[in-house]
Chain A
Amino acid sequence: MEISNLTKETLIRMFKEGKRFDSRQLTELRDIEVSYNVSNKAEGSARVKIGKTEVVVGVKMAMGEPYPDSPDKGNLTVSADLLPLASPRFEMGPPDFPGIELPRLVDRIIRESHIIQLDKLVIKEGEKVWTVFIDVYPINDDGNLIDAASLGAVAALKNAKIPMLDKDGKIDYDKDSKESIPLTKDISPLSFSFFKIGDSVILDPTREEEEAADARITFGISKWNGQYVINSCQKSGEEPLTQAEIENMMSVITKKFDEVTQKLKKYI
């Protein structure tokens, strides 16, 4: 159900008092669950649940040519399909803007954090490299798909193995592999999407809260040698963000990064 005028006004009033329908604080996240092995045909796969939001992410590997401007690096391709299975809002046919934006955001969150050592995915320089495909599918959309998707992508990458090659150098997907994708030690990016509703800013909205939002900003964040790094950022929506709001986000995001990283330790 799309947001109505009176519900939106009530949400603005509630957020002003720091309250939410599910009793969370404005920057409090819902429970997160991560599990693996969505598909044994994937090189790695993960299922992420944040409240009632659920996404599955799979990693597939294939051999291909490097891009001309990076002959010494493997390729990364992120795609997403907003399956009409996951929400009455998602329709069949060519993707609308949210369907285009989601994989682009996940791509930057992953790529710019340098979690994948693409230079170690070269089979023959200039000729043959590994392509890492990350495919994101929502199963149930109850808000905050982007953060769920980027978390799923990281989990699936950490779970992924490079497939074995046969005598002729062709991929044998059926052979068990022990070799993980080369990942940078200690780098594990997350994304946090802040939503502005009235004068309030919240994290991890439900679908209903997301509908009421006037603006969103998504940050990809990681930690390099103990130092927080913002790797990507995109503001969406017409409503501007004030300097004070941005400052506040920057103080919240580092705390949230540590908090979620800690919580995810039992999964990732």
Chain B
Amino acid sequence: MAKEKESSFKRSDGRKLNEMRPMIAKVGIIPNADGSAMFTFGNTIAIAAVYGPRKLHPQHMQNPQKAVLRCNYDLLSFSVSDRKKPGPSRRSQEISKVTEWALSPALDLNSFPNTVVDVQIYILQADAGTRTAGINAASLALAHAGIPMRDLICSVAVGKLDKNLVVDLTKEEEDFEEGEGATDFAMAKIANSDEFTLMQLDGKIQPEVINEVTKLATEACKQIYEVQKKALKDVVESNGGKK
């Protein structure tokens, strides 16, 4: 369906409907961390650090069966136009939690009972897609930290602008108001499988169109996976694995 409409609908930055913004991924950016990475979608820049498995306090939060995954997502105060007051907001707490759920299906934490794996995600510059960029960075940082994982997690937002499905919305596109307006559907999936681990939607979308959304997300995630894979291999090839 996308093909016919491609000619009629123009994205504000000239991208094709299924075209993502330029992606950059870099692993090993924080020497103190057990694992770390940066991931960008265009002007959105996310960084992530992983510490652990390490001691979990307080004790009552420990799980005797496996390590607890604890994610923290937040914006730096100057990553957005109106200065964000330092400290967690309800928004950042919700995103932290859905990020945990998005990542945990890929992880095998059974060998580390009573411990915690801490994932710290911060957005340096925001232009929509911050949670998805954050998940991509976190997935890389977890792999970098040597955490057992059955696969990487890839994440992207699929949007609907009026009636047109597009991938990887910018802030400007999120504010699109013509026709049916803008719908933003943040997705994450296990790279080499058809399982989705993050689904968060705001807007209006017909049930049958959701099927198209998952297909578009799957295609986009293939590209993300290649970028992630290369970033991990580069850290070894370039001999940059200093700690």
Contact = CB atoms under 8 A, between A and B. Distances in A.
Interface of A: 38-43, 45, 52, 54, 56, 58-60, 62, 79, 81, 83-88, 92, 133, 135, 137, 139-142, 173-174
Nearest to B54: A88
Interface stretch (B58-66, B73-81, B221-229): B73-81
Interface of B: 29-33, 43, 45, 47-49, 51, 54, 72, 76-83, 86-87, 118, 120, 122, 124-126
A133 B51 CA distance: 30
B72 A135 contact: no
Nearest to A87: B32
B78 A39 contact: yes
Nearest to A39: B125
Contacts of B83: 60, 62, 133, 135
Contacts of A43: 78
Closest 9 pairs (CB-CB, A-B): A58-B78, A42-B78, A85-B120, A173-B81, A60-B83, A39-B125, A85-B49, A135-B77, A140-B30
A41 B125 contact: yes
8 contacts: A41-B80, A41-B125, A59-B78, A83-B120, A83-B122, A84-B120, A135-B77, A140-B33
Given A38-B125, A81-B86, A135-B86, A88 B32 contact: yes
Given A40-B125, A88-B51, A173-B82, A58 B33 contact: no
Contacts of B122: 83, 85, 137
B78 A85 contact: no
A42 B126 CA distance: 11
Nearest to B45: A39
Binding site secondary structure of chain A: loop
Nearest to A54: B30
A137 B76 contact: yes
B77 A60 contact: yes
B130 to A, nearest CB: 12
Nearest to A44: B78
B32 A40 contact: no
A85 B120 CA distance: 5
B35 to A, nearest CB: 11
B140 to A, nearest CB: 14
B40 to A, nearest CB: 12
A62 B80 CA distance: 13
Given A83-B120, A139-B47, A173-B81, A56 B76 contact: yes
Nearest to B49: A85
Contacts of B87: 81
Nearest to B48: A85
B32 A140 contact: yes
A39 B82 contact: no
Nearest to B242: A52
B116 to A, nearest CB: 11
Contacts of B48: 85
Given A56-B76, A137-B76, A85 B33 contact: yes
